[in-house]
Chains A and B, each alone.
Chain A
Amino acid sequence: MSEHTYPNKLEPGSPMVRFSNVTKRYGPLVVLDSLDLDVAPNEMVSIIGPSGSGKTTVLRMLMTLETIDDGVIYVDGEPLTHMERNGDLVKANASHLRKMRGNIGMVFQHFNLFPHMTALQNCMEAPVQVLGLSKDEAEQRSVELLDLVGLADKKDQHPSRLSGGQQQRVAIARALAMRPKVMLLDEVTSALDPEVIGEVLNVIRKLNSEHSLTMLMVTHQMGFAKEISDRVCFFYGGNIAEQGPPDQIFGNPKNERTRQFLSAVLEAT
């Protein structure tokens, strides 16, 4: 690793999520380029930018769906991509990843609900299999969460019987059932018909205001990002080109690329 120093643990009071000089390559292509990113506890961060800028890779690496090439990612003070051995940091093994993964939940663009299970069973599956909850406890928790997202009456339906918006709300409930500290939302409305986008955004609004969750959201819904975010990061070419409060980014962007991107997006809407 470069001249960066990577502590084995972060001090108390550190950010909930820290990307420290993170680089990710696919062959010759550099997708994330020495990225530094901090997310404070309970902060809601929106990530915007053109395709190929690395936005989704940030989330996928946090969810351990991708490996890291350089740098370290920390979650809640502990290294995620690495682990401590004999006082040094080495690449994490499978069991360390499993331990750390429990802190993070993800909602996918294409929902990825389990088609052979009902909405309720989808939510119950991981709490029972991973957290060791009893069927009753898991069911109780799941029903509460389905109620939170407004789908308590659909709990016994299979995903094939639900609309896209409903499926995505179930997906949110399913992720919440594991009580993660960090929630990742990967373009969760991009695959939805316009008329159901609202119901999903409402759930996210509710989550943000009523629950203490650190959230990272990759989105193209600029209006929503402006309304709900604590901070907006504009990604370009594998790194953050500009970041700041939504008013600044959307109202008075300092970076030329940010301006270009936003004007192109506004033209499309």
Chain B
Amino acid sequence: MSYLEFLATYGGRFVDGAIITAQQTVLATVVAISMAVLMGLMRLSPSLFVRGIATVYIEIFRGTSLLVQLFWIFYVLPLFGLPLEKFTAGFLAVGMNLGAYGAEVVRGAIQAVPKGQYEAALALNLSPMTRMRRIIFPQAILLMLPPWGNLLIELLKGTALVALISVSDLMFEAKQINGSTFLSIEAFGTALVIYYVFGRMVISPAMRRLEHVMARKMGQA
């Protein structure tokens, strides 16, 4: 069949899969940002214990494979009494994995805020928490947006793995269609293009927009 016929027949399934992928991406992003901010701040704590917890988390999730983490969360956690739905296991694994990379980005951005800002805040007698919340972190956000743009693309790519625990996302549908039609180029090719569009034409421009908006809010644009 021609490609147009292919799209007419299977287009709906691609859309269904793409919707699941979008959901996974959004949910994983929420998890990733939460973990990144939490662990990034913890890495900067004066307490060795708190720093240690964050370091362990970051090293484990960065040092092992996302696929391994995904399988572990889905197949092994139930043995500890924590059974998870595959959909949930999917975005949790992706989110926690990217959150570890994000934690380093958050930490780096906070440390990149000029030392003079800390000193001015200290001179004004702001408490450490107020200083972080009102002065340092807002400036760090602007600094961390470009790396986060790249991380979100990685996150989108990571969600493709949830197909391997049978979540019916875009990649899962592509695999199914390939399995029944053997039209590999059309099936996988279409999926590749959709991922590309999601990444380069939705996520990247959105992040650039966000950078612009934040810069203006900070009075720098």
Q: Which residues of A does B touch, CB under 8 Å?
A: 63-65, 98, 101-102, 104-106, 108, 110, 112-118, 125-126, 129-130, 158-161, 171, 174-175, 178
Contacts and interface: CB of A to CB of B under 8 A. Distances in A.
B125 A108 contact: no
25 contacts: A63-B123, A64-B122, A65-B119, A98-B125, A105-B124, A106-B123, A108-B116, A112-B117, A114-B135, A115-B218, A116-B138, A116-B139, A118-B219, A125-B124, A125-B134, A125-B135, A126-B124, A129-B127, A129-B134, A130-B124, A130-B125, A158-B218, A159-B219, A160-B220, A171-B120
A221 B191 CA distance: 69
Nearest to B218: A116
A158 B220 CA distance: 8
B119 A116 contact: no
Contact of A116 (B116, B121, B125, B219): B219
Which 4 residue pairs across A and B have the least CB separation, nearest first? A158-B219, A112-B120, A126-B124, A112-B116
Contacts of A118: 219
B50 interface: no
A199 B123 CA distance: 23
Contacts of B219: 115-118, 158-161
B130 A114 contact: no
Given A115-B218, A116-B139, A130 B122 contact: no
A175 B218 contact: no
A112 B119 contact: yes
A105 B119 CA distance: 11
B117 A114 contact: yes
Contacts of B15: none
A65 B117 contact: no
B123 A129 contact: no
Nearest to A102: B125
Contacts of B135: 114, 125
Interface size class of B (residues with CB under 8 A): 20 to 34
Contacts of B123: 63, 65, 101, 104-106, 108, 175
Contacts, number: 74
Interface in B117-173: 117, 119-127, 130, 134-135, 138-139, 142
B215 to A, nearest CB: 10
Contact of B127 (A98, A161, A174): A98
B139 A115 contact: yes
Contacts of B220: 115, 158, 160
A38 to B, nearest CB: 23
B50 to A, nearest CB: 17
A162 to B, nearest CB: 10
Nearest to B141: A116
Contacts of B120: 108, 112-114, 171
Given A115-B218, A115-B219, A108 B119 contact: yes
B123, B127, B134 pick with most chain A CB within 10 angstroms: B123
Contacts of A105: 123-124
Given A108-B119, A115-B139, A174 B125 contact: no
B119, B121, B124, B220 pick with most chain A CB within 10 angstroms: B124
Contacts of A171: 120
A118 to B, nearest CB: 7
A130 B126 contact: yes
Contacts of A64: 122
A106 B126 CA distance: 13
Contacts of A160: 219-220
